[in-house]
Homo-oligomer: A and B are copies of this chain.
Amino acid sequence: MTFVRPRTAQEAVLSELRRMLVTGELAPGEPLRQEALAETLGVSRVPVREALKVLEGEGAVVHEPHKGYVVAELSVDDLVEVYRLRELLEAEAIRVAVPRLAATDLQALVAAAADVDAAGRSGDVTGMTEANRRFHFLLFDAAGMPRLSRTLRQLWDATDVYRSVYFSGVTNRQRVKHEHHDLLVALRAGDTEAAVRAQHAHRDNSVTAVTAALRRA
């Protein structure tokens, strides 16, 4: 049982706010009233504020003194920028990670990819984004570069809101499955550059789909 209740209220608030952001329960541009959030979550304003400070640091919300916090709005330019930075940093992570991949890492990757599929088949969008993230960061973390992982997490966080949109489409789900498979094949073969290319293609399809969704909105 790895079922640890958060040791502090701020941690609980933080993960709940993250969930609400990812699911769109809190929509971009929406002002965040501290008192209301506190009451909803059954805590006082203090832990809410500290959680919001963390989210501000991640760029998920923006803060104006004496005016309050607002859910960040991502422009198309922002999105393109985030994906360009991901391109640079993920290539580095994969190049370092692939030669270091152990058999257990590969097993974990295969399992995570299977989880993505399973969640996809049952239409569980949240579970799918979670498993997808786990899959990719298993690979990135294998590079053994904590600062890089951390930076990549920030970039992923910034676009998490739109990732769920992506996964809700059936054709996208099919494509993701194949792309993960391609990546796994490259990893198993120890072919670093093929892995980099696979990740690039995967990300490219994602940015195209999400950009389209964003323009419609």
Chain A residues packing against B (C-beta within 8 Å): 7-8, 11, 46, 49-50, 53-54, 56-59, 65-66, 78, 81-82, 84-85, 88-89, 92, 145-148, 150-151, 154-155, 158
The residue that A8 contacts in the complex, of B11, B65, B81, B85, with Cβ under 8 A, is B65
* Known contacts A7-B66, A8-B65, A53-B54, A92 near B81 by CB under 8 Å: no
Report yes or no: A147 in contact with B158, Cβ–Cβ below 8 A: yes
On chain B, the residues within 8 Å of A155 by CB distance are: 147
Report yes or no: B89 in contact with A59, Cβ–Cβ below 8 A: no
Chain B residue at minimal CB-CB distance from A92:
B88
For the complex of A and B, the 5 pairs showing the least CB-CB separation, nearest first, are: A57-B57, A53-B53, A7-B65, A81-B147, A8-B65
How far is it, in angstroms, between the C-alpha of A151 and the C-alpha of B59 when the chains are bound?
11
A124 to chain B, nearest CB (A): 30
How far is it, in angstroms, between the C-alpha of A21 and the C-alpha of B194 when the chains are bound?
43
How far is it, in angstroms, between the C-alpha of A119 and the C-alpha of B50 when the chains are bound?
38
Report yes or no: A85 in contact with B46, Cβ–Cβ below 8 A: no
Report yes or no: B65 in contact with A147, Cβ–Cβ below 8 A: no
A92 to chain B, nearest CB (A): 6
Report yes or no: A84 in contact with B88, Cβ–Cβ below 8 A: no
How far is it, in angstroms, between the C-alpha of A84 and the C-alpha of B84 when the chains are bound?
17
Report yes or no: A81 in contact with B7, Cβ–Cβ below 8 A: no
A sample of 15 cross-chain residue pairs with beta-carbon separation below 8 angstroms, ordered by A number, consists of A7-B65, A7-B66, A8-B65, A46-B46, A50-B50, A50-B53, A53-B54, A53-B57, A78-B146, A81-B148, A82-B147, A84-B92, A85-B151, A88-B92, A151-B151
